[in-house]
Structure 1
């Protein structure tokens, strides 16, 4: 690209054939981000050219459509939402209870301290530790939890 680049300029990366917004400059590279958000990528300045209005609009619409298709697939149960992919299954036993299912380790059920969910402080809906789902924990044990923090 012959003219100077500025943050927030919309350019086309001819190396990857993508349109993006200039987010910053690191060494010899220009950092670009898709128009509707997402992961940045590095591009060489010589591979950049100003994006025309039609190219910028087309790239933005393509990304919105892809996001919409993903949401539809999640709603249909074909995909797991991105935030859910990181989270362990709700029926995950603690390490003590999982090991206690093996012969010779039955006494480890009593050593399980994960008797309730431990939320991340100052965050809503994010757990540091999920409650053990083992059937050996009764409702009485859940109300008198002794989870060490």
Structure 2
């Protein structure tokens, strides 16, 4: 990065972290970069930064899109996917399976989250038929 102050949002490659980041501003002797698509800023040595290549920009954009897809998934329920089952009131097994689902969701273990939903639906069909 040259002495001229780049525009905020310009993408740079930081060899110290092996990441591409959006330039935010300078703080003292450091350039502040943020992951593409948002996230926690980090300090970088401006002398070591270089403009990101087209391939690096594309890769960073794909990572950001994948991250959004994983984190936005709970908000997309009902758009082409079945709604998660709601536990029946005062049912210990329903509560345990719903708790298992929430723990899996919190750790981004989507396979375990799906397993808990399948088990909860099966339990509800067997035990809570109307």
TM-score w.r.t. length of structure 1: 0.46
Q: What are structure 1's unaligned runs of at least 5 residues?
A: 82-149
Aligned counterparts of 2:24 and 2:3: Cα–Cα separation in 1: 17
* Alignment correspondent of 1:66: 67
Aligned counterparts of 1:5 and 1:19: Cα–Cα separation in 2: 18
Q: What are structure 2's unaligned runs of at least 5 residues?
A: 78-100, 108-130
- Report SS of the residue matched to 2:60: helix
Aligned counterparts of 1:26 and 1:63: Cα–Cα separation in 2: 25
Higher helix share: 2
* Paired residues, number: 81
TM-score w.r.t. length of structure 2: 0.52
- Give yes or no for the alignment of 1:25 onto 2:26: yes
| Structure possessing the higher radius of gyration over alpha carbons | 1
RMSD: 2.6
- Report SS of the residue matched to 2:47: helix
- Report SS of the residue matched to 1:46: coil
Which of 69, 74, 79 does residue 105 from structure 2 map onto? 79
* Alignment correspondent of 1:15: 16
Aligned counterparts of 2:65 and 2:44: Cα–Cα separation in 1: 23
Deviations 1:20-51 (A, max 9, x none): 11100011100011121111111011220110
